[in-house]
Structure 1
Amino acid sequence: MTALFIGLMSGTSLDGVDGVLADFGTTPIAVRAHASAALEPALKAELLALNQPGINELHRAALAANALMRVYASVVKQLLAMTSFVPRQITAIGAHGQTVRHQPQMHDGTGYTLQLANPALLAELTGIDVIADFRSRDVAAGGQGAPLVPAFHQAVFGKPDQTMAVLNIGGMANLTILGPARTDDVLGFDCGPGNALMDAWCLRHLGLPFDADGTWAASGQVHADLLNTMLAEPFFALLPPKSTGRDLFNLDWLELQLKGFPNVMPVDVLTTLTELTARTCTACVQTYGSKSKQLIVCGGGAFNAHLMARLQALMPGVVAQVSDAHGLPAQQVEAAAFAWLARKTIRREPLDLKSITGTRGARVLGAIYPA
């Protein structure tokens, strides 16, 4: 076993695959390389469609998983080329897969979470052991299965003498509160939508995958009544542990919110959606992380200048900074987390996520697919 692991992440935003080659032989961990690959429009559209019931789902999901693994393998190839490492020098790949359904504790009391992947194919394509399916064991043990990254946040961002808050804004937004020193002081949960609704609205009205720098949102006005209608969504009032996804926050949900407001300009809808993300995230920080004077922001939302400005304006007593300022670039955090989780699996180290997901106790997460 070497200290080298690869982490691969394709998030709810569907904006592509991020991969890192992480070296755990140093403290803190060192990212030796970072690579990304966009998803082809047809694959992106299929993955998005598979978030909802449809015809011939099993067949389509299997083929989409195969296609996604080929993108994953291309990112691995990039990482190896950038570092001159060969497959036998990498202990394992941590592969998240693409979440298409997330319904923990629903239906039969256990529920499920589904990340499309074909880890066996990825092992064949790369010649490296693959660790996947990290969330299912947590759900089986009574947990939400998400978010998993707060434990990693503690490892890389935790301070022995202060409370820290880490906000990951991907398709959904999740918050981590890190108490001083001890792992059992970690609290983490989903706040609500991050970029998913904003991105979908931009695609519909501008034909663009996202609002670069938040420029379009910054040009509009918040519609107060629409915002209040959105904030009445029951999910926001739930107590942690809680998690969510496109099962709830999707265009159908947005259309339902807009029914009473037919004359709102599209730009003002986007401005209001951006404000929704900012308000729900800051409310969570203020409720659960009131002792924190620093907010570390990662994920795609960290690149939205308007959103970052709104977060800072709503929390004048907190310094909001992109995670780059704390040693790990915003686009690398989640991929690095899955490299870290893969290492935990290989070493059979259980994670106690009771305060994060509500699981019954410490469990080893993930399944191993040998090369």
Structure 2
Amino acid sequence: MNLQSEDFEPVWSAGFMSGTSIDAVDAALILTDGVEVLDFGPVAERKYTPGERNTLKQAIGEARAWNWAGPPPEQAFDAARAVLTATHADAWARLLENWDGPRPALAGIHGQTVLHRAPGKARPGATLQVLDPGAMRAELGVPVAFDFRSNDVAHGGHGAPLAPAYHAALLRQLGAGQSAAVLNLGGVANITYRKRDGSLYAFDTGPANGPIDEWVEGHDAGTHDEGGRLAASGRVHEGALTQWMAHPWFDEPAPKSLDRFDFNASLARGLSLEDGAATLTAFSAEAVAHAIRGFDDTPSQIILCGGGRHNPQLVRELKQRCQCTIRTAEEVGWMGDSIEAQAFAFLAVRTLRRLPISWPGTTSVPEPMTGGELLP
């Protein structure tokens, strides 16, 4: 994977991410030429209200019921688009509130994934992120890059993960010559693995926070396992864990991708609240460990980003099961809650300059692939 390109004048670019955990819109500003990251600007977070979160969850639920068969549930999608426009506008205002640098040249907006299907032998892949780019363009007042996944999927790729281009730029800043990995713990876990020779591979390893959050919320115990306390007080059912890890998806070759609901809280049905949380947490960690065992060499370090790194019990399980050095993004000087937002700021510039944003080793697309649409 080669990110090198002719020199471009760096620009300040904004990025926005609303992940499958549906907790907030993250926004970030970086200075980049689409190849290197030259500087970091402010970051911002706009938490969803319960009502906004329910609107987005309703759109996801109706999308899953629709599953690309028949008329799409546009009423639910329109309601979600309205929420996304308003919350992204709020995040934009917070991002620039105390910023005294140049106005961003453009913004990369991911939208909200409501449905994702990995390509299979008998059917092509498909992915859907809802947003209203015209309304976003009007609210932000700068060119907007969006729809980053469709071109990759249309050419046979998984359309995910897309952050590896940015991970590669960050890892280069840490130095070459060692294998290393970036593990993003969102609703789904995805890993970017840089080998000693500098080649890059990326794929979804399995579930991360998604089933845990769903389990806790389904028991009216909050929206997530705060501080990992439920899991820490429960017992891991190793038999169930072994059964879950026997799912054929784990034996599929990488690159590969998951929908947030391919593995869900129903796995733990019949367990107590605490034991279910403990076993689902261990499952997320064991899926990562399974992926690492398939690497040519053990990474010198795994750098954690995403919301899951705030779960001490998940981090403990990862350290125990992965048997390698695990550090948080903050320990290497990164902003762990904002890396995906920064990634879409980075990808926006690559979209502007028609540079590839996915590769055979990251999404299984046949050749390096450009992506994204630009609303100037």
Alpha-carbon distance in structure 1 between the residues aligned to 2:180 and 2:24 = 29
Corresponding position of 1:327: 333
Corresponding position of 2:232: 218
Is residue 353 of structure 1 aligned with residue 349 of structure 2?
A: no
Compared CA separation, residues 244 and 71, structure 1 to 2 (3 A): same
Whether the aligned pair in 2 keeps the contact of 1:134 and 1:365 (CA below 8 Å) is: yes
Is residue 270 of structure 1 aligned with residue 277 of structure 2?
A: yes
Corresponding position of 2:183: 167
State the 1:136 CA deviation.
0.4
* Correspondent of 2:298 among 281, 291, 298: 291
Q: Which runs of 5+ in 1 are unaligned?
A: none
Is residue 365 of structure 1 aligned with residue 371 of structure 2?
A: yes
Compared CA separation, residues 69 and 311, structure 1 to 2 (3 A): same
TM-score normalised according to structure 2 size = 0.90
Tell me the number of residue pairs that the alignment of Structure 1 and Structure 2 aligns: 358
Whether the aligned pair in 2 keeps the contact of 1:20 and 1:336 (CA below 8 Å) is: yes
Corresponding position of 2:32: 24
Whether the aligned pair in 2 keeps the contact of 1:147 and 1:357 (CA below 8 Å) is: yes
- Alpha-carbon deviations, 1:269-295, whole Å to 9, x = none? 110000000111112122226331211
Alpha-carbon distance in structure 2 between the residues aligned to 1:139 and 1:332 = 25
Corresponding position of 2:213: 199
- Alpha-carbon deviations, 1:131-186, whole Å to 9, x = none? 0000001101110000011121111113321111111110000111112464xx10
Q: Which runs of 5+ in 2 are unaligned?
A: 1-8
| Mean CA deviation greater in 22-31 or 285-294 | 22-31
- What does 1:143-158 align with in structure 2 at a 5 Å threshold? 143-158=157-172
Alpha-carbon distance in structure 1 between the residues aligned to 2:80 and 2:117 = 20
| Mean CA deviation greater in 17-26 or 63-72 | 17-26
- What does 1:1-371 align with in structure 2 at a 5 Å threshold? 3-24=11-32, 28-51=37-60, 52-53=64-65, 57-85=73-101, 89-105=103-119, 109-158=123-172, 159-180=175-196, 182=198, 185-250=199-264, 254-255=265-266, 257-258=267-268, 262=270, 264-288=271-295, 290-316=297-323, 318-370=324-376
Whether the aligned pair in 2 keeps the contact of 1:177 and 1:289 (CA below 8 Å) is: no
Whether the aligned pair in 2 keeps the contact of 1:167 and 1:174 (CA below 8 Å) is: yes
State the 1:66 CA deviation.
2.1
Whether the aligned pair in 1 keeps the contact of 2:268 and 2:279 (CA below 8 Å) is: no
Alpha-carbon distance in structure 1 between the residues aligned to 2:284 and 2:243 = 14
Alpha-carbon distance in structure 2 between the residues aligned to 1:350 and 1:120 = 24
SS in 2 for 1:36: strand
State the 1:313 CA deviation.
1.5
- Alpha-carbon deviations, 1:15-72, whole Å to 9, x = none? 1111001122796442210100111222212322333216971121022112112111
Compared CA separation, residues 207 and 258, structure 1 to 2 (3 A): closer
Alpha-carbon distance in structure 2 between the residues aligned to 1:226 and 1:164 = 31
Whether the aligned pair in 1 keeps the contact of 2:15 and 2:28 (CA below 8 Å) is: yes
Compared CA separation, residues 289 and 59, structure 1 to 2 (3 A): farther
Alpha-carbon distance in structure 2 between the residues aligned to 1:14 and 1:347 = 30
Compared CA separation, residues 206 and 95, structure 1 to 2 (3 A): same
| Mean CA deviation greater in 268-277 or 150-159 | 150-159
- Identity rate, percent: 32
